[in-house]
Amino acid sequence: MAVVKHVQSKIPVSSIAKEEKPIRKIVTNTESEEKGPSKSTEGSSRAKKRCYFCVHKTEPSYQDVASLKRYVSDRGRIYSRSRNGNCAKHQRMLGKQIKYARHLAMIPFLVRA
């Protein structure tokens, strides 16, 4: 079995700490803008979703069950704004209208398998 001995170096610890500190570069706003778009926006070719109700100048209604079903999953959950692309105003109205249509039994609360 080999015995390992620790050998103390004769270099003071304070000088080692000074040499190994990384040099940090301060990046200003002009330097970061020159590099171009970030990686997150570079590869995205998908167009931004537009609010269906704003584009067609309509309001969501509990009576239009066919259009309300577009915003409900097959399990009965209401899709989020990021998924369906609605604006905040119409998403709130859409949620209320879907819940009202459920209450009137036009749309099921649960889909049983």
- Reference 68, options 105, 104, 110, 107; nearest CA is 107
Averaged pLDDT, 98-109: 94
Model pLDDT for residues 24-59, shown as the tens digit of each residue: 666 666 555 555 555 555 556 777 788 999 999 999
- Dihedral of the alpha carbons of 87, 93, 97, 100, in degrees to the nearest 10: 140
Q: Is residue 103 part of a domain?
A: yes
- The confidence score (pLDDT) of residue 106 equals 93
Burial of 86 (C-beta count, 10 Å sphere; 0-12/13-18/19+): buried
CATH code where residue 68 lies: 4.10.640.10
Q: How many domains does the chain have?
A: 1
Q: Is residue 68 part of a domain?
A: yes
- The confidence score (pLDDT) of residue 25 equals 65
Over the chain, what is the mean pLDDT? 79
Residue 104 near residue 68 (C-beta atoms within 8 A): no
Residue 71 near residue 90 (C-beta atoms within 8 A): no
The model's pTM: 0.58
